[in-house]
A and B are shown apart, each in its own frame.
Chain A
Amino acid sequence: MRFVDEFRDADKAHALAAKIAALCEPGRQYKLMEVCGGHTHTIYKHGLEDYLPESVTLVHGPGCPVCVIPMGRVDDAIHLASQPDVIMTSFGDMMRVPGSDGSFFDAKARGTDIRMVYSPLDSLKIARNNPDKRVVFMAIGFETTAPSTAMTLLRAQAAGLTNFSVFANHVTIIPAIKAILDSPDLRLDGFIGPGHVSTVIGCRPYEFIARDHGKPVVVAGFEPLDILQSIYMLMLQLSQGRSEVENQYSRVVPWDGNMVALKVIGETMELRPYFEWRGLGFISHSALKVRDSYADFDAELLFDVPGVRVADPKACQCGEVLKGVLKPWECKVFGTACTPETPIGTCMVSPEGACAAYYNFGRMNRTRVREAQVTRS
C-alpha cells in the first residue's frame, strides 16, 4: 500500500471513495473507461482502484499516442530516416517503440541519424544548422501535440526553410472513442474524458457519447483527487439516470477548447480518409496529414514511404489492452517476455501505456489480488 497514501489529501480521497460506494446499486457492475494514458498512469501510480468498490472497474482506453502507432509506421519512419542525408527527429517516447526490425534506438545504433527533441520547434533549429541535410520530424500524438506541429509548419513556411518536413502521425481521439463504442467486446457505463486533449478540442465533441449512446462523460484533471472526483461525478449521473458531458477540469479546460490551436491545425493539416491504429485497425477520418498547401513540408510526398503493414507479434496483446478488453496482466507475455527494458508491445514502452504503468506501480497494490482472482477464474 505504500503508493496509496503517498498523495496529499488522502482524507478527501477516502471521503470521495465513500460517496462513490454509496452510489453503487447492489448487484450492478460499473465499467468506466479512462481514455487518456496520463490518467492510467495516475490510477496505477496512486493505487486509485484500491479506493473503489469491487463493482466499479476502470478500463484503460486508447489515449496513449505512442501505443497506438502501428509497427509498420515505425518501419516506415526508420526507412525514411535511413535515406541519404536525412536527420530524423522525434519525441523521446518514440525512441524505444519496436518496429519489425527494431526501434529508433536500434536504428540509431546502426548509424541512422535519429535525434530526440523536446519540441518540434527544436527540429527547425537542427534544420537551420544543417543546411545540407534533410530534417524530418516524426510527429505523433493526439490533439494535445497536433497544434505544436501545426505551429512548427507555419514557422517553417514563414522562415522559408527548404530542408524541413513532417512525417505526420497525428491521431484524433473522437474516432477512437467511436470505434470503442461500436466494439462488440466491451460494454462501458461512462468515460473519464482526457484532460489535455480537451484543452484543445473542448468538451463539445463528446456530446454525441452522452446524447446518442446514453453514457456520461466527465473531462478530468490528472491528480488523484481529480480522477476520484470525476468517478464520483460519473456515478452520480448514472445513479440519477443522466448522461451528460461535464467538466471536472474546468480550471484548465475551456468548454470550447483552444480556438487558436484548432485554427492552426485546420490551416496546416487535414483528415486522412483512414489510418491504421495499433489494435483498433483502420479507422476512418481518425488521423491528420499535412495539408496540400503545405506539400513542400510533407515527408510522405517528398520521400518514397513504403507504407509497410506489419501484423503485431503473435504473443503481443496490446490491441486488446488498448481497447480495454484485457487488463495488462492478462496478456500472455506481460512482465515475462515483455518488460519496459525489452518491450514487445507499445503499451509497455510509454509511461502513459497501461502495461508500463501497471508494471511500474500497479503490482504493488490491490491489482495483485485481482491478478490472483483473474488467474483463478
Chain B
Amino acid sequence: MCLGIPGEVIEFVPDQPDLAKVDVSGVRRMINVGLLADDPPKPGEWVLIHVGFALSKIDENEAAAALQFLEGIGQAYEDELAALQESVIE
C-alpha cells in the first residue's frame, strides 16, 4: 500500500483533467493526477503512484531505478500490480 510505483503518463482524458492513463510495467490503467495540479505531468513524463494517485513527479532515471528495485522485491510488487490491473478508476 505504501509502495510508490512508477508509471509513465501516456495520455490525458478529455474533459477530465484529473485523470490520466499510465503505463506501469506494461499494465495500462487510469490514475488520478489531481494531487499534482500545481505542476501537472505531461505525456511521456513519469510519476510515482500510490493507491491510484500520482503523488510526485520523478525523472526517467529515478523511474528506472525504482522499477528495478520493485521488481527485485518480488511478491509485494506483483500483488500491487495485480491489484492495479483490477482497478477501474473513472
In the complex, the answer to whether A145 meets B58 with C-beta atoms within 8 Å is: no
> Which one of B4, B34, B38 contacts A259 once the chains associate, using CB atoms below 8 Å?
B38
Does residue B51 face the partner (Cβ distance < 8 Å to A)? yes
In the complex, the answer to whether A37 meets B2 with C-beta atoms within 8 Å is: yes
> Which one of A41, A66, A260 contacts B34 once the chains associate, using CB atoms below 8 Å?
A260
Complex CA distance for A350 and B88, rounded to whole angstroms: 24
Main SS at interface, chain A: mixed
> Which one of A145, A259, A260 contacts B51 once the chains associate, using CB atoms below 8 Å?
A145
Which residue on A lies nearest to B30, using beta carbons?
A: A121
With a cutoff of 8 Å between Cβ atoms, the chain A residues found around residue B35 in the complex are 147, 151, 258, 260-261, 264
Does residue B28 face the partner (Cβ distance < 8 Å to A)? no
Complex CA distance for A254 and B59, rounded to whole angstroms: 14
Complex CA distance for A259 and B37, rounded to whole angstroms: 10
With a cutoff of 8 Å between Cβ atoms, the chain B residues found around residue A140 in the complex are 1
Give 1 or 0 for each of A244-261: 1 = CB within 8 Å of chain B CB: 000000011110001111
Main SS at interface, chain B: mixed
**Tally of chain A residues near chain B (CB < 8 A):** 48
In the complex, the answer to whether A41 meets B52 with C-beta atoms within 8 Å is: no
With a cutoff of 8 Å between Cβ atoms, the chain B residues found around residue A91 in the complex are 1, 51
Which residue on A lies nearest to B90, using beta carbons?
A: A125
In the complex, the answer to whether B75 meets A351 with C-beta atoms within 8 Å is: yes
Complex CA distance for A120 and B34, rounded to whole angstroms: 14
In the complex, the answer to whether B1 meets A93 with C-beta atoms within 8 Å is: yes
Residue from B4, B35, B56, B86 with most neighbouring chain A CB atoms (10 Å): B35
Complex CA distance for A92 and B37, rounded to whole angstroms: 28
**Tally of chain B residues near chain A (CB < 8 A):** 37
With a cutoff of 8 Å between Cβ atoms, the chain A residues found around residue B3 in the complex are 38
Complex CA distance for A50 and B89, rounded to whole angstroms: 43
Complex CA distance for A121 and B88, rounded to whole angstroms: 8
With a cutoff of 8 Å between Cβ atoms, the chain B residues found around residue A254 in the complex are 56
Does residue A180 face the partner (Cβ distance < 8 Å to B)? no
User: Nearest-CB distance from B74 to chain A (Å)?
Assistant: 9
In the complex, the answer to whether A36 meets B2 with C-beta atoms within 8 Å is: yes
With a cutoff of 8 Å between Cβ atoms, the chain A residues found around residue B2 in the complex are 36-38, 65, 141-142, 144-145, 196, 352
Residue from B2, B56, B72 with most neighbouring chain A CB atoms (10 Å): B2
With a cutoff of 8 Å between Cβ atoms, the chain B residues found around residue A264 in the complex are 35
Residue from A121, A200, A260, A261 with most neighbouring chain B CB atoms (10 Å): A121
Does residue A199 face the partner (Cβ distance < 8 Å to B)? yes
Complex CA distance for A200 and B4, rounded to whole angstroms: 12
**B 50-80 contacts with A by CB, 8 A:** 50-53, 55-56, 58-59, 62, 65-66, 68-69, 72-73, 75-76, 79
Complex CA distance for A103 and B74, rounded to whole angstroms: 25
**B 20-52 contacts with A by CB, 8 A:** 31-32, 34-38, 48, 50-52
With a cutoff of 8 Å between Cβ atoms, the chain A residues found around residue B66 in the complex are 222-223
Complex CA distance for A38 and B3, rounded to whole angstroms: 7
Complex CA distance for A175 and B55, rounded to whole angstroms: 23
In the complex, the answer to whether B87 meets A252 with C-beta atoms within 8 Å is: no
**A 115-136 contacts with B by CB, 8 A:** 116-122, 125
Does residue B84 face the partner (Cβ distance < 8 Å to A)? yes
In the complex, the answer to whether A118 meets B38 with C-beta atoms within 8 Å is: no
In the complex, the answer to whether A252 meets B48 with C-beta atoms within 8 Å is: yes
> Which one of A6, A148, A350 contacts B52 once the chains associate, using CB atoms below 8 Å?
A148
> Which one of B38, B58, B88, B89 contacts A252 once the chains associate, using CB atoms below 8 Å?
B58
With a cutoff of 8 Å between Cβ atoms, the chain A residues found around residue B86 in the complex are 118, 122
User: Nearest-CB distance from B37 to chain A (Å)?
Assistant: 5
Complex CA distance for A200 and B53, rounded to whole angstroms: 12
Apart from A36-B2, A145-B1, 10 more pairs, CB < 8 Å: A41-B73, A118-B86, A118-B87, A122-B87, A147-B35, A148-B51, A195-B4, A251-B58, A258-B36, A260-B34
Closest CB pairs A-B (n = 8): A119-B52, A118-B87, A118-B83, A351-B76, A121-B89, A148-B53, A119-B51, A148-B51
Interface residues, chain A, with chain B CB atoms under 8 Å away: 6-8, 36-38, 41-42, 45, 65-66, 91-93, 116-122, 125, 140-142, 144-145, 147-148, 151, 195-196, 199-200, 222-223, 251-254, 258-261, 264, 350-352
What would 11 A/B residue contacts be, using CB atoms closer than 8 Å? Answer: A7-B69, A38-B2, A66-B1, A92-B83, A120-B51, A141-B51, A196-B4, A222-B69, A223-B69, A351-B75, A351-B76
